[in-house]
Amino acid sequence: MNQPETGRAMALAQNLLEILGPYEEELMAIERSNPAAGALRRAVGIAIAEACYLITDPGVAPAEWAPPADDSARRTR
C-alpha cells in the first residue's frame, strides 16, 4: 500500500471506530442489566476489530472485504 492509500485506510478505520464505537458502548451499558446482550456486544466488537484489520492490512485486497457472492458463508451455519 502506498502512502496515500495507507492514510486513507487509517482514516477509514478511524471513521469506523467513531461511528460504531458508541453502539458498542451502549451495548456494554445494556449488558450490565441484561447479560444476554453480551453476545451481541462481543459480536459488534469483533466486527469492528475485523473491519479495522481488513482496512489497514496491506496484504488484504479490497475484493476480500465483502462476503462471498455465492452466499457460501450462510450455508455453513
Residue 60: the pLDDT is 64
Q: Which domain does 54 fall in, by range? A: 3-75
What pTM does this model have? 0.58
Identify the three-state secondary structure at position 20: helix
Tally of domains in the chain: 1
Given pLDDT bands bounded at 50, 70 and 90, which one contains residue 9? confident
Residue 7: CA atoms inside 13 Å, Cβ hemisphere, count? Answer: 3
- Please name the residues in contact with 13: beta carbons below 8 A apart, sequence gap of 6 or more: 51, 52, 55, 56
pLDDT digits (tens, 9 = 90+) for 35-74: 998 998 888 888 888 877 877 776 766 666 566 677 665 5
Q: Judge contact between 52 and 17, C-beta under 8 A.
A: yes
